[in-house]
Every structure is written in C-alpha cells, then in structure tokens.
Amino acid sequence: MLSPEDVQKVATLARLKLSEEELEQIGHQLGEILDYVAVLDEVDVSEVEPMAHVADVFNAFRADETRVSLPREESLSNAPKTDGKYFLVPQILENA
Amino acid sequence: MDITGSTTGQLLDAMQNGTVSAVEVTQAYLNEISAHGETVGAFLSVDSEGSLTQAAEVDRKRSSGESLGKLAGLPVAVKDNICTKGLATTCASRMLENFVPPYDAHVTTQLQNADAIIIGKANLDEFAMGSSTENSALQVTRNPWNIDHAPGGSSGGSAAAVGARLASMGIGSDTGGSIRQPASFCGVVGMKPTYGRVSRYGLVAFASSLDQIGPFATDVTGTARLLESIAGYDVRDSTSVDRPVPGYSATVEQPLENLRVGVVSEFFGEGIDSDVDASIRAAIDVYRSLGAEVSEVSLPHTRYAVATYYLIACSEASSNLARYDGVHYGRRAEQFENMIDMYAASRAEGFGAEVKRRIMLGVFALSEGYSDQYYLKGLKVRRLIRNDFDAAFENVDVLAGPTCPTPAFKIGELVDDPLQMYLSDICTISANLAGIPGVSVPAGFSSNGLPIGLQLLAGPFEEEKLLRAARMFERETVWHTKRPSFS
C-alpha cells in the first residue's frame, strides 16, 4: 500500500496538482491496481530479456537536408500565450 | 437507393455507374447525422461544409475523367486523436479542447489521397485511455443498439458512427483493444493492423510501442479497402515498416484452403457471458463446416496480460503526456505561483480522472526503486506473451475467440471500478503487447439484442490471411447485415 506521502511524491514528479480528495482516491485506486499487478510475481523471468518493442527497429537515418519547417505563425497558432514571436512563460529568474 | 444502408462496395459501384453522386452520398450521411447524431453522440465535430466541398470535387473529377482514389466519395469518421489540419483535434480532453493542428496526420493525407470524405471527428475516451468512451471530457457516446449501453472504447465514437450508419467507414486507434472492442460492441468490423503497418505520424501518442491506427467498416471488404489505403511506410514514423502493402480488397473474396484455426482456451475463461460463449462456439463451427481444421490452443501467459499492459502502457503514457505543460499548445491554468506550479496546475485542470490515474501509475512504475519491480518486469513478461503467440502460429493460421467476454455493458456500470474496466480488455490486450494484427467481426447477438464480436488474430503482417479468414465467416452469416432499429 502507498502512504499519502508516497502518493504526493508521485504527483509532484508527475507535475499534477491534486486536491486532497484526488490524492486519497487515486492513492486508493493505485493500491488496488498494484495489488492486482502483483500477479506477475508468479512468473519466473530470471532468464528472460526485456522486450521494449515488438519490431526489430534500427536507427532510422535520413539525409541531412534542409527542408521547409512550420512557419512561425502556424507554430504559434495554438500557444496559450504569445507575443507573435515567442511562446511566453512566467519569469523564472530572479531580478532578470 | 438506400445510401446509408449500403456497404462501401455498393456505394462505390453506385457512384461509378452514376446512380448517385458523391454529393448525394455525403448529404445522405449528413442527414442521418442531423436525425440521430445527437442521440448517439458519436461526433465531436461534423464538417458539413468541408465534406460537401470534398464530395463536389470527387464528382467534378469523375465527370472530367480524372483518376479517382480507391475510397472516392466515401464518408469516413476519424477518431479525434488523429490530426486534421485546420479541424479541431481534441483527444476528447479539456487539455486540447481548442487545439487546431497546423498539420495533417499521415493517415489523414492518405484518406485525402484516396478521395475519401472526412465527414467529422469522432469521440473517444480522453487520450484514448478507456474501454467505454465514458472518459471523454466532452461528450457521452451511446451504443446505437441500445442507448443505455456504452459503445465500448476508446474508439467508441468511430465504432458508433459506423454502427449507426452515420458514416460509411471509420478510423480508430488500438492500444489494448480500442478498435476491436468497440467494433464488437457496435456490431461492425474493426481491425488492428500489425504494429508498424500504418504510420502513427500525427496520431496523438498514448503508448508508443502499442498504439496502432486501423479501420472500421460494416463489412470485411470495406475494412480491407480502407486498410490498403492507409497502410504503408512513412519516413516521418521511424517505427512504420517498409514493406509492400498487399491489395487486400483484391484477394479478400478468396477462401483459404486447409485453414487451421486455433481456439484460444484462455479466452473462454471465468467471467465469459453465456451468450458470447455460445455465439463464438457457433462461429467456430462455421469454420469447421467450411473444412477448416480446428484445434484448441493455449496462450499460457494470458492471465498476466492485463497487468503487463497497464504497467507498460501507463509508463509510456506518463512520458508521452509530459509534453502537456501549458507552454506550446493546450490548456494553461489562469492561476499559478511560478513556472513549476503553472505546469502542475495546467495539467490538473486539463486532464480527467482516468488520465491522471494512468500518469500516476506510470510515473510510479518508472520511479527510482520501483522500475525494476514494475516496468522492467512488465517488459520481460511481454516477451513471454509474444513467445506464446509465436509458438501458437507454428501450428495454426489464425487464432479465434471472443473479442470481449461480454456484450456492451451499461453506461456507468464500470465507471467507478477501473480494475474491472481494465479486465474487459482481457482478450484484446495481448495482441498489442505482441504487435500482431487482429480483427473483430459481427458474430451474433445476446438475448437482449446487443452485438457479439468474433476476434481473429494472425501472425505479424498476416493481414491478408486474416481478412480472407474473416470474410470466409462473414460470407456464411448474416450478422453484418443487421442494423440498429432506430435508423
């Protein structure tokens, strides 16, 4: 079972600002899911290689050629905050 | 002509010989959407003007003798996690409620190249996370066979649109059953191709090693036609596979000789509905009657598939969804204290409960001290699941079983019990872990009138065989010709 501190730590790592109620509910549900996932303890995987991907994928090289990229206006078209040139974010440096 | 009651083949023939125009076909579907769209709730947006313009262009090309694509004039519902330039692509999330992509997904371009008509964007579980479409933050979608029931998910909007004949075809994405399960629930054909068969460029990522785009249609031939139009290598998706795309629709009518069907014992386990059990066993008898060799097959690691899937899918999701930070696009909170708080507040406002739950599980499964026990363990069991399939396909051509252990559950029935909802994916999930193709075909109805789906699975890149095997069954049965009574 996860402690409330564990759940808060995961929420912080996940960059999710959760209410007390959400923390409690998700903590409880995560506990249930982790209990269920413990079924995997039955499986002996000592000789098994992990499989991150089903296909044998190799590095996909391509020619290093200049291509047209998305115009600035279109790149900024969905920005929550912009001055028309940049994506605007809150100040992160003191006295800048 | 009963336009919306026609198959893709009948519509293509009718447009080809001039019985109807593409504009008339599109208008007929738009009329159905006006009449029933609100009841079903399949679409998040309908592009009436754009689709009529596209249809008029098809008619113009035809009358001037220009060459036409394979899907010319067929209206298609596209799941709203697939980017369409200039048309909102919301993922059914508050996070992307106002997102209008500046580019098209590869699949969108392929549909346009085939002269298909993108009639609207279909509802889904938020970010494709769910099995009922109830996790949509924007809208409820109802099962066209009984509006108190869920359409399945996550591609529930696409499946319901095709089931209700509000579109001729649909595009979905399948990460753990998200095409096959709603196809089964809505009484249509739905297919998950082999991982890498269709480019994921422009598909909003959920779990990158599992996600695959695929087709819906009312019959197997339409499914084959749509798949051959969207499949193929794309340099912009480095996991798409560079091998030729067979002409699936050209061979789909050819029955397979000496077909060997393996019946997966584990898919008939505890919790299977008795109507589903009876329908699927009857479906297997159809293959016997056609001379197929039927044998019992075991996939011994099936009982670990759901646990393995949730560890891997959520881990990948937690990484993929880290991009939603309220900076470049998507929702930004109004109130926050600093930069980090802006991320956390924006994400808390933008994501719904299931998405938060999965991100939390993924972050936990990847976190220091736990990743060996959870994520890495999942990757190892994944290999054992793939090995089960490799062994099975040494002796059989296709595997058969139910798509889902039950017919469509009621809206609200499982919504407070995430684990039970996850377990409804028990028969579909292992195909994603193994990367193999699967199809769901209408195979009967429950005693209360809800569709039941037969699932067939085949080895990697065996889509042609899979579609031919599916068509062999469909030709002997009438289930795919049934339509929900409201329409």
Catalytic member of B6, B21, B51, B79:
B79
**Is B319 within a domain?**
no
B360, B382, B388, best to mutate vs chain A, most A CBs in 10 Å: B360
Q: Does B17 contact chain A (CB < 8 Å)?
A: no
Q: Does B257 contact chain A (CB < 8 Å)?
A: no
* Known catalytic membership, residue B184: no
**Is B26 within a domain?**
yes
A89 contacts on B by Cβ (under 8 Å): 327, 339, 342
The total of structural domains in chain B comes to 1
Q: Are B175 and B207 in contact (CB under 8 A)?
A: yes
Weakest-pLDDT range from A1-15, B182-196, B387-401: A1-15
Q: Is B147 helix (H, G, I), strand (E, B) or coil?
A: coil
Q: Are B262 and B400 in contact (CB under 8 A)?
A: yes
pLDDT of residue B239: 92
**Shortest CA distance to B39 belongs to which of B126, B165, B159, B144?**
B144
Q: Are B323 and B289 in contact (CB under 8 A)?
A: no
Q: Is the pLDDT of residue A1 over 80?
A: no
Chain A 67-86, residues with CB within 8 Å of chain B CB atoms = 70, 74-75, 77-81
Task: Render the burial of B154-186: b for 16+ CB within 10 Å, e for the rest.
Answer: bbbbbbbbbbbbbbbbbbbbbbbbbbbbbbbbb
Give B49 to chain A, closest Cα distance, Å.
Answer: 23
pLDDT one-digit tens code per residue, B3-58: 999 999 999 999 999 999 999 999 999 999 999 999 999 999 999 999 999 999 99
Q: At what angle do helices A4-13 and A20-37 cross, to 10 degrees?
A: 100
Q: If you measure CA to CA, which chain A residue comes closest to B89?
A: A78
A13 contacts on B by Cβ (under 8 Å): 363, 367
Type of residue at B447: S
Q: Is the pLDDT of residue B418 over 90?
A: no
pLDDT one-digit tens code per residue, B147-174: 999 999 999 999 999 999 999 999 999 9
DSSP string for residues in B11-39:
HHHHHHTTSS-HHHHHHHHHHHHHHHHHH
The whole-angstrom separation of Cα B82 and Cα B204 is 6
β-strand pairing of B260-264 with B398-402:
parallel
Q: Does B377 contact chain A (CB < 8 Å)?
A: yes
Give B206 to chain A, closest Cα distance, Å.
Answer: 15
Q: In the A/B pair of chains, how many CB contacts fall below 8 A?
A: 150
Give me the residue from A37, A55, A57 closest to B311, CB to CB: A37
Q: If you measure CA to CA, which chain B residue comes closest to A31?
A: B361
Question: What sections of B103-217 are H helices per DSSP?
Answer: 106-113, 156-163, 180-186
Take residue B210 and report the two structure tokens written for it: 């599992």
**Is B338 within a domain?**
no
pLDDT one-digit tens code per residue, B277-308: 999 999 999 999 999 999 999 999 999 999 99
Domain at B15, CATH number: 3.90.1300.10
B418 contacts on A by Cβ (under 8 Å): 29, 32-33
Q: Is B162 helix (H, G, I), strand (E, B) or coil?
A: helix
Check CB contact under 8 Å for A54 and B322: no
Upper half-sphere CA count for residue A26 (Cβ side, 13 Å): 28
Check CB contact under 8 Å for A49 and B383: yes
Q: Does B243 contact chain A (CB < 8 Å)?
A: no
Q: Is the pLDDT of residue B464 over 80?
A: yes
pLDDT of residue B487: 46
Q: Is B307 helix (H, G, I), strand (E, B) or coil?
A: helix
The whole-angstrom separation of Cα B240 and Cα B64 is 36
A2 contacts on B by Cβ (under 8 Å): 364
**Is B305 within a domain?**
no
Take residue B211 and report the two structure tokens written for it: 């996600």
pLDDT one-digit tens code per residue, B267-279: 998 889 999 999 9
Catalytic member of B178, B240, B279, B315:
B178
Q: Are B145 and B451 in contact (CB under 8 A)?
A: yes
**Shortest CA distance to B296 belongs to which of B399, B388, B385?**
B399
Q: Is the pLDDT of residue B133 over 90?
A: yes
* Known catalytic membership, residue B63: no
The whole-angstrom separation of Cα B10 and Cα B5 is 10
Q: Residues near B391 by Cβ (< 8 Å), separated by ≥ 6? A: none
Q: Are B218 and B125 in contact (CB under 8 A)?
A: no
**Is B148 within a domain?**
yes
Average pLDDT, chain B: 97
pLDDT one-digit tens code per residue, A68-80: 999 999 999 999 9
DSSP string for residues in B203-222:
BPPSSTTT-EEEEEESSHHH
Q: Is the pLDDT of residue A63 over 90?
A: no
Residue numbers of the domain that contains B78: 8-259+439-481
Q: Residues near B460 by Cβ (< 8 Å), separated by ≥ 6? A: A54, B194, B195, B435, B436, B437
Domains of chain A: 1-63 (1.10.20.60)
Chain A 38-57, residues with CB within 8 Å of chain B CB atoms = 39-40, 42-43, 45, 48-55, 57
Confidence of residue B132 (pLDDT cuts 50, 70, 90): very high
Q: At what angle do helices B22-40 and B8-16 cross, to 10 degrees?
A: 150
* Known catalytic membership, residue B79: yes
Check CB contact under 8 Å for A80 and B332: yes
Q: Are B131 and B181 in contact (CB under 8 A)?
A: yes
Report CA-CA distances (Å) from A27 to A4, A21, B322, B434: 7, 10, 20, 30
B266 contacts on A by Cβ (under 8 Å): none
**Which residues are registered as beta bridge partners of A60?**
none
* Residue bearing tokens 């990757």: B379
Q: If you measure CA to CA, which chain A residue comes closest to B99?
A: A78
pLDDT of residue A57: 64
A20 contacts on B by Cβ (under 8 Å): none
Q: Does A35 contact chain B (CB < 8 Å)?
A: no
Check CB contact under 8 Å for A54 and B195: yes
Report CA-CA distances (Å) from A70 to A66, A67, A76, B49, B101: 13, 10, 10, 26, 11
> What percent of chain B has pLDDT above 70?
100
Weakest-pLDDT range from A47-61, B21-35, B376-390: A47-61
pLDDT one-digit tens code per residue, B43-92: 999 999 999 999 999 999 999 999 999 999 999 999 999 999 999 999 99
**Is B181 within a domain?**
yes
pLDDT one-digit tens code per residue, B327-350: 999 999 999 999 999 999 999 999
Check CB contact under 8 Å for B339 and A90: yes
Q: Is the pLDDT of residue A90 over 60?
A: yes
Q: Is the pLDDT of residue A60 over 80?
A: no
Catalytic member of B93, B154, B168, B318:
B154
Check CB contact under 8 Å for B338 and A92: yes
Report CA-CA distances (Å) from B63 to B11, B17, B433: 17, 11, 47
B374 contacts on A by Cβ (under 8 Å): 37
Confidence of residue B422 (pLDDT cuts 50, 70, 90): confident
**B420 alpha-carbon distance from chain centroid:** 21
Q: Is B193 helix (H, G, I), strand (E, B) or coil?
A: coil
A19, A25, A37, best to mutate vs chain B, most B CBs in 10 Å: A37
> What percent of chain B has pLDDT above 90?
96
Q: Are B202 and B106 in contact (CB under 8 A)?
A: yes
- ipTM for the predicted complex comes to 0.95
Residue range B221-250: average pLDDT? 96
Report CA-CA distances (Å) from B109 to B199, B213, B219, B238: 11, 14, 24, 18
